[in-house]
């Protein structure tokens, strides 16, 4: 089969992939922020939508948080197929416009069920991150893909990092509903930045020429490696999010119910993102030189030795230091997965592969907090960190097996 896309890291593409990186970084930043900006106040907003018991509020909050991730896991492969057929830019426009409108409408929601429905629809309009990675991966020269995709990853990381901080400030100053309006407007700005500044050379293909899922798998030079990276992505996300439900409670326990719990919990939650933001481009560039698989293996080993002592910290400064270092290990992992996928996927099926990867990533986001909640209820907070280190160890063994022939 011939390459249906005219995208290539040679010729004209060389002149605009760096400009695309800047525009896509902005889009990734805003998208990351859009998904995280409501985290500090979503439960509080839900409590204002009705007279709920504690258990009802917990249930509705959980549904609202999980809704978009569940739908994202289901629909991502569909959008990936359409991206390979019609191009990635149109998928970026679809995702940014749809998310912007959904979040705007959340500011008008009259009850909790409408909010949950809008969160479900927000998941339908996912795909900005996966298609950004796919578009850039088809344009950047392979020898620079680690650095480029690592830099792009810092957009979503920094957006996710600053989102709760910005959301908390906006909610306290302007109120919950105005915060939704402002966030929706910012995401609509991504639509226009993408429309005017992202360039893609793409030749649409007919439905008949679009590969089926089975044909996509056959088209992969090393399908075992690619599917191993999918599972790796899911486990990485499950590991990162497994401590989310208990992190603030763990901080509260360490500080002995200090009135500064909220302040330190915010710092503890955010500091890994800061470390990832600093380290990801540098580690991506290093991976281009010595091998991306070596970077990801180092990240797993480093993480195992960090999660275990987290279970036994005796003061907040120890936890902060370990959380900062875990951000460096994170910078070794997800960007490296994206790079390995980019280097082992033909251009004409890149959209499909990155969408499948996003689907597993969303499932990991959903699965991680469930694992953390169950483990903490049985073994306490420290048990969550031990179980997370076991998850990372399993991932290390998987990746070692899949990359041994690279």
In a domain, 368, yes or no: yes
- Tell me the mean pLDDT in the region 380-384: 86
- Tell me the mean pLDDT in the region 29-35: 85
| Contact between 151 and 140 (Cβ < 8 Å) | no
What CATH number did the domain enclosing 123 receive? Answer: 1.20.1250.20
Model's pTM, two decimal places? 0.74
Task: Check residues 117 and 83 and name the one with the higher pLDDT.
Answer: 117
Number of structural domains (the chain) is 1
Residues 146-188: tens digit of each pLDDT: 778 888 888 887 887 777 778 777 887 888 899 899 989 989 9
In a domain, 4, yes or no: no
CA distance 38 to 298: 34
Task: Check residues 237 and 8 and name the one with the higher pLDDT.
Answer: 237
In a domain, 1, yes or no: no
Residue 400 pLDDT > 70: yes
| Residue 283 pLDDT grade (very low, low, confident, very high; cuts 50, 70, 90) | confident
Q: What pLDDT does residue 207 have? A: 63
Return the SS3 of 7.
coil
* Phi-psi category of residue 175: left, alpha or beta, with phi > 0 → left and psi -120 to 50 → alpha: left
Residue 217 pLDDT > 90: no
CA distance 54 to 344: 49
Residues 42-57: tens digit of each pLDDT: 777 888 888 888 777 7
In a domain, 33, yes or no: yes
CA distance 41 to 58: 13
| Contact between 174 and 308 (Cβ < 8 Å) | no
CA distance 164 to 34: 10
In a domain, 2, yes or no: no
In a domain, 237, yes or no: yes
Pick from 83-92, 197-206, 235-244: least confident? 197-206
Q: What is the DSSP string of 162-225?
A: HHHHHHHHHHHHH-HHHHHHHHHHHHHHHHHHHHHH---------TTTSPPHHHHHHH-TTHHH
Task: Check residues 187 and 248 and name the one with the higher pLDDT.
Answer: 187
Beta strands in 37-143 (DSSP E): none
Residue 254: domain span: 11-403
Residues 341-370: tens digit of each pLDDT: 888 888 778 778 888 888 888 888 888 878
| Contact between 40 and 168 (Cβ < 8 Å) | yes
Return the SS3 of 328.
helix
């Amino acid at each position: 089969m011939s390459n249906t896309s005219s995208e290539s890291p040679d010729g004209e593409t060389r002149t605009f992939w760096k400009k695309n990186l800047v525009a896509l970084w902005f889009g990734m930043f805003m998208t990351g922020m859009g998904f995280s900006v409501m985290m500090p106040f979503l439960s509080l907003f839900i409590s204002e939508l009705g007279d709920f018991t504690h258990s009802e509020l917990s249930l509705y909050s959980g549904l609202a948080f999980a809704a978009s991730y569940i739908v994202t896991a289901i629909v991502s492969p569909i959008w990936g197929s359409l991206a390979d057929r019609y191009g990635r830019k149109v998928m970026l426009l679809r995702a940014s416009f749809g998310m912007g409108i959904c979040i705007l409408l959340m500011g008008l929601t009259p009850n909790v069920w409408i909010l949950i429905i809008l969160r479900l629809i927000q998941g339908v309009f996912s795909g900005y991150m996966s298609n950004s990675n796919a578009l850039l991966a088809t344009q950047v020269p392979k020898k620079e893909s680690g650095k480029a995709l690592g830099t792009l990853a810092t957009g979503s990381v920094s957006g996710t990092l600053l989102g709760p901080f910005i959301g908390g400030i906006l909610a306290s100053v302007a109120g919950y509903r105005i915060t939704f309006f402002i966030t929706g407007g910012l995401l609509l700005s991504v639509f226009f930045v993408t429309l005017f500044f992202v360039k893609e050379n793409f030749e649409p293909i007919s439905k008949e020429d679009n590969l089926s899922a089975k044909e996509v798998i056959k088209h992969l030079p090393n399908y075992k490696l690619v599917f191993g990276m999918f599972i790796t992505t899911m486990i990485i996300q499950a590991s990162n999010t497994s401590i989310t439900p208990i992190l603030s409670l763990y901080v509260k326990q360490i500080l002995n119910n200090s009135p500064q719990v909220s302040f330190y919990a915010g710092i503890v939650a955010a500091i890994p993102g800061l470390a990832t933001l600093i380290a990801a481009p540098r580690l991506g560039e290093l991976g281009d030189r010595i091998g991306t698989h070596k970077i990801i293996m180092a990240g797993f080993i480093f993480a195992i030795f960090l999660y275990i002592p987290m279970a036994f910290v005796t003061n907040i400064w120890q936890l902060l230091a370990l959380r900062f270092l875990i951000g460096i290990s994170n910078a070794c992992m997800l960007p490296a997965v994206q790079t390995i996928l980019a280097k082992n996927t033909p251009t004409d099926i890149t959209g499909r592969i990155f969408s499948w990867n996003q689907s597993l990533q969303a499932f990991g986001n959903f699965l991680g907090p469930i694992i953390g909640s169950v483990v903490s209820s049985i073994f306490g907070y420290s048990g969550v960190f031990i179980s997370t280190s076991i998850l990372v160890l399993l991932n290390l063994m998987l990746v070692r097996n899949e990359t041994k022939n690279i």
